[in-house]
Amino acid sequence: MNLQSDNRLWFKQPASVWEEALPIGNGKLGGMVFGHPVRERIALNEDSVWYGGPRNRNNPDSLPNLKKIRDLLQAGRLREAHELSAMALSGIPETQRHYMPLGDLQLSFRYEEEEEAQDYSRELDLTNGLAKVSYQIGGTVYARESFSSFPDEALVTRLTADKPGSISFTARLTRGRNRYYEEMVKADESTIVMRGNCGGAGGSDFRAALRAVAQGGSVSIIGEHLVVERADSVTLLLTAATTFRHSDPEEYSVRAGVNAAMSDYENLKARHIQDFSSLADRVSFRLKADSEACGLPTNERLNRVKNGEEDLGLQALYYQYGRYLLISSSRPGSLPANLQGIWNEHMMPPWDSKYTININAQMNYWPAEPGNLAECHEPLFDLIERMREPGRVTARTMYDCGGFVAHHNTDIWGDTAPQDIWLPATYWPMGAAWLCLHLWEHYEYGLDRAFLERVYPTLKESAQFFVDFLTETEDGLLVTSPSASPENTYILPNGESGTLCIGPSMDSQILYELFSACAEAAAVLGEDPSLQQQWQQMRDRLPAPKIGKQGQMQEWMEDYEEAEPGHRHISHLFALHPGKRFTVRGTPEWADASRVTLNHRLANGGGHTGWSRAWIINFWARLEDGEKAFENVQALLGHSTLPNLLDNHPPFQIDGNFGGAAGMSEMLLQSHTGEIHLLPALPAAWAEGEITGLRARGGFEVDIRWSDGKLAEARIRSNADNNCLIRTSRQVTVTENGHEIESVLSGDGAVAWKARAGSEYILE
């Protein structure tokens, strides 16, 4: 047993299905590498390949019927409210746009010897973003490396053999059995281009270009096929674009391939590794793991966990895999990671592979700030900005309100009208409000005033919608109406079930955070004193969290029974995580009620989807229960993880990967209460370990080393002049440059000092 830092997925066989393939990506351009020796498939995605163009789907009958819907809800006439809402509030048409694959790169290899491949290995290195395949046929050793380069904007595959003239294959680009593209043309003697349109009114044109650069042998194009004969080595360069970003995507794609071909492979690879590892290497995570388990292929390790065994090294690997996936699917200039990151093989993917903004898109970005990938958060901010103008139209058309609003889904165009006709979720007006909290969180971690100045108008505009939208109860409380508690159903005493409601707990909890963030942002910037006062006053008039008859947090304003006691959404614990209001020391009664809620959900089958299980890890971490958090890490791996370690809803949905990684961060470091809490939810199984490079709110970066379940040493690097308040389970001394500094020990065991920008402090 020793501290292991295993950052490699590996397998002894090629992928037989998509769920076994290995993901690579540069934010915009993604591939799933199967690694077959004879018929290779790399499934391709480009992040802006979405069906159709922008539309105004806002229902003109929403506003004329809004008061009646509110009155029906107030009168308890649920069936009538449901029926009218389905007609009057739903978007026209009801669905937003959906994400689609770019196509496939297919390689058919020819070997002189008709033998089975021997000594096969397939791997993905999480530190450098390289997917590798190696095998032997007839005494010749073949190798492939694939990566998606952010600096060179190309998906690169390198094919080599240890004997000259051994590489012969035919390459072609396909898409949905070749039904979903228009033309395949020859751009030059070594480049083929797929031309197509994403379909639908206003759909983008797309182009994919494949260029072959061979050393030795020959390259030719015959029909739709790029043919390589007897080469010593080959570099394939796949580039792609759509008119979403480029007026001439073909010119861009061909030029990007030409530019990449001007560099030899080793330079392309070196640039990619330097770029990728500069992000991946910021955080290391090691646990005391079983050396025997660490030597097994990844799928065998996962099967052992599914059979009830522990594999701490696999847990650390899963954490880094979450960071790897975020680096690969969300980079500055790309679209944000959608329900499947960027990796999707279906023309009609599950849930359209959009941005589901009643938790899933937000969960994708939970690991960004603590996991030291702040720039990977930027594509989400770009989407929020793109939503503002459509959101203003929706706010005015549907509700006669200022500001901007979005419901539980959006798409590439920032569509904000309700999606679907599905009462448990469709008419929930909190999507943009929740997203905007990510703007404030980014500021809290980095303290970038220029960023706050840029996004403050967005925060303010989100709050403005609710200033206009909230209605007053007879008790003088401010509530949302109509709304829902995603995506649950309640039961009235008379047995009638309902989904639409007034003032669900989650809405008030999100608004508490939003009004607080707006007021704090305004105070930092010295702006809008009257608005600060208004936001604080409105926050104080929101319904307070209530504890129900079973000792649980209430999900609705009334203590209703639930139709699904084990429901996957646990929306009424938003204030526990990702919110900040429910805390172990600050609000112990709400923390206790949160425990009751979680235990009740789990006892009734909760956590049955990957992302829900990941959320539960974060909840238990915030409750400082390391054993419960660990149990759910085990369950996430054992019940909701595919052979390639991607999250299984089921089917594949990437949010569980991101939520799981975020939960592990929360187990080791928390900073949401104004202090940095070291090892707040350390399970007994993680008795030995270290993590470096985590970020904490307030402009801090933290390394932690622990032994026998207790803190051994921590290093705190400050990027700003700021008060540093540290909570640990042990008494510590604080040194700077080898000298003990003056610190203050608070009454409840926390230590505080004035940190200076650029300084490192050691706690022992």
Q: Compute the distance between CA of residue 699 and CA of residue 160 in angstroms, rounded to an integer.
A: 46
Mean pLDDT of 266-278: 98
Helix or strand holding residue 529 (H, E):
helix 529-540
As a whole-number percent, the residues of the chain with pLDDT over 70 amount to: 99
pLDDT band for 4, please (50, 70, 90 cuts): low
Mean pLDDT of 724-751: 86
Mean pLDDT of 51-75: 97
Task: Sort strands 669-670 and 710-718 into parallel, antiparallel or unpaired.
Answer: unpaired
Encode pLDDT of 650-661 as tens digits.
999 999 999 999
Mean pLDDT of 377-402: 98
Check whether 529 has a pLDDT greater than 50: yes
Q: Compute the distance between CA of residue 623 and CA of residue 564 in angstroms, rounded to an integer.
A: 24
DSSP 703-760: EEEEETTEEEEEEEEESSSEEEEEE-SS---EEETTEEPP-EE-TTS-EEEEE-TT-E
Check whether 1 has a pLDDT greater than 60: no
pLDDT averaged over every residue in the chain:
96
CB 291, CB 2: distance < 8 Å: yes
The pLDDT value given to residue 2: 60
The pLDDT value given to residue 747: 64
Under DSSP, the state recorded for 99 is B
Tracing tokens 């307030």 back to the chain, one arrives at: 698
Check whether 671 has a pLDDT greater than 70: yes
The pLDDT value given to residue 284: 97
pTM for the whole thing?
0.97
* Cα angle 708-710-712, degrees, rounded to a multiple of 5: 100
The pLDDT value given to residue 5: 64
Domains annotated for the chain, with CATH where assigned, are 8-50+98-281 (2.70.98.50), 67-92+348-365+374-576 (1.50.10.10), 689-763 (2.60.40.1180)
Encode pLDDT of 476-498 as tens digits.
999 999 999 999 999 998 888 99
Q: Compute the distance between CA of residue 569 and CA of residue 640 in angstroms, rounded to an integer.
A: 16
The pLDDT value given to residue 650: 93
Within 10 Å of residue 742's Cβ, how many Cβ atoms? 7
Check whether 199 has a pLDDT greater than 70: yes
Encode pLDDT of 136-158 as tens digits.
999 999 999 999 999 999 999 99
Within 10 Å of residue 478's Cβ, how many Cβ atoms? 21
Check whether 179 has a pLDDT greater than 70: yes
Lowest mean pLDDT among 124-133, 262-271, 287-296, 653-662: 287-296
The pLDDT value given to residue 744: 78
Check whether 308 has a pLDDT greater than 80: yes
Q: Compute the distance between CA of residue 98 and CA of residue 412 in angstroms, rounded to an integer.
A: 8
The pLDDT value given to residue 3: 67
